[in-house]
Amino acid sequence: MSKKVLITDKVHPILIKGLDAAGFKVTYDTSVDNGVLDQILDQYDGLIINSKIIMNKARIDKGKKLLFIGRLGSGLEIIDVQYAKKKKIKVFNSPEGNSNAVAEHEMAMLLCLMNNILIADQEVRQFTWNRELNRGTELRGKTVGIIGMGHTGVAFAEKLSPWRLNVICYDKYKKRFPSSLRFVHKTDLDTVLSQSDIISLHLPLTEETRYLVDENFISRCKDKVIISNTSRGQVVDTKALIQGLGTGKISGACLDVFENEKPESFSTAEKEMYGTLYRMKQVIVTPHIAGWTHESLELIAQVLLDKILKGISK
C-alpha cells in the first residue's frame, strides 16, 4: 500500500509530482488548519507544512503513522524537533531554497532606506521635488555586522562582496565558513555591536535568540546603527526598537518580520505600537516576503523533495 502524504500549504507542483513519482499518495489541501489536522493526522505517513501548522508534542502524538515532517522553508520553531526525533519521526526543512531570495530582498530594503527611495517616490508622485532633503548615504565604506551565519547569513554576506564594505560576523555555533567568505572577519558579539553601522540578523527563533535585540543589546550598539531583520520577528523587542528609533540611537530599520504578523489579531496595545512603528519614515517594512519569490517557491520544493527521498530511503 502506498504511503500517504498530506501537504497543507501552497507548494510548487514539482514537489507533488516528485512524491507521486516516488510512489506516495499525495493529498494537497491548503484549507487544512491545526484543528482539522488533529482529526485526520493519524491517516498519514508524511506531513509537509509551512508556518500555519504547529507540530507540538500533542499534535505529534496524533500522528501515529508519521515517518517524516517536511517544513517548507527554514524555521523549525513550529516543530518540536527533539520530540519528533524521540518518536523516530524524521524532520526535513529547506533553508537553501530561499536564502538567495532573502539576501536580495534585504539588499533592496537597505538601498531603499539609505537612499530615501520610498520617500522620494511618493514625493515625486505628488509633484514635490526634494533633492537635498533626499540626499542618500552610500553603503561603500560602512561596516556591516551579520549575526547568524546559516544559509541566509552566508547568502547575504556573499551579496556584499563587491560593495567595498567592511563585513564582520558573529555566530555562536558555526566555526567553518565557505571559501567565498574569506573577506568576512569572524569576531565576537560585542565587536559586532560596537563597530557595525548596519546589523543584519539571520537567526532561528530559539530560547537563546528570543528578544536578543532588547534595550541592553541596543545600548551596546554603535550610535546611529541600522537594524535589519529578515529572520524571525520575536528576535527583536519591538518596543525597544521603537524607543531606539525615537531617541536616534537607531537611525533606521529594515523589517520583513514582526512579533505579531496577523494584523487582524492585534490587541489595542499592539495596534498602537505598530501604528507608531509604521509611521516612522526611517523604517522600511514588508509583510514577511523576503523569501517569497517565484524562484524560491520552486527551489524550496525541489530541495525538500530531494531531502525527503534521500532521508526516508535510509
pLDDT digits (tens, 9 = 90+) for 168-215: 999 999 888 888 899 999 999 999 999 999 999 999 999 999 999 999
Residues 301 and 277 in one domain: no
Query: In whole angstroms, what is the distance from residue 148 CA to residue 77 CA?
Result: 16
Residues 38 and 180 in one domain: no
For residue 138, indicate whether it is catalytic: no
Residue tagged active-site, from 208, 261, 272, 295: 261
**Within a domain: residue 136?**
yes
For residue 151, indicate whether it is catalytic: no
- What are the pLDDT digits (tens) for 278-302? 999 999 999 999 999 999 999 999 9
Residues 244 and 273 in one domain: yes
Residues 233 and 87 in one domain: no
Query: In whole angstroms, what is the distance from residue 168 CA to residue 178 CA?
Result: 14
Residues 163 and 253 in one domain: yes
- Give me the mean pLDDT over the 140-168 stretch: 97
Residues 106 and 188 in one domain: yes
- CATH number where 117 lies: 3.40.50.720
- What are the pLDDT digits (tens) for 115-140? 999 999 999 999 999 999 999 999 99
- Give me the mean pLDDT over the 240-249 stretch: 98
Residue tagged active-site, from 59, 185, 288, 298: 288
For residue 232, indicate whether it is catalytic: yes
Quote the pLDDT of residue 313. 73
What's phi and psi for 5, nearest 5 deg? -125, 135
Is the pLDDT assigned to residue 53 strictly greater than 80? yes
What's phi and psi for 38, nearest 5 deg? -55, -30
Q: Which domain holds residue 210?
A: 99-285
Grid coordinates given for 23: 510512489
Query: In whole angstroms, what is the distance from residue 281 CA to residue 290 CA?
Result: 20
- What are the pLDDT digits (tens) for 252-270? 999 999 999 999 999 999 9
**Within a domain: residue 290?**
no
Could you tell me which of 19, 17, 14, 13 has the C-alpha nearest to residue 5? 19
Residues 114 and 192 in one domain: yes
pTM score, two decimals? 0.93
Residue tagged active-site, from 232, 264, 272, 294: 232
Quote the pLDDT of residue 74. 86
Name the pLDDT band for 1 (thresholds 50, 70, 90).
low
**Within a domain: residue 58?**
yes
Residues 135 and 209 in one domain: yes
Tell me the residue type at 167. V
- What are the pLDDT digits (tens) for 164-180? 999 999 999 988 888 88
Residues 193 and 214 in one domain: yes
Residues 114 and 43 in one domain: no
Residues 248 and 141 in one domain: yes
Domain total for the chain? 2
Residues 68 and 160 in one domain: no
- What are the pLDDT digits (tens) for 10-33? 999 999 999 999 999 999 999 999
**Within a domain: residue 280?**
yes
- Give me the mean pLDDT over the 217-228 stretch: 98
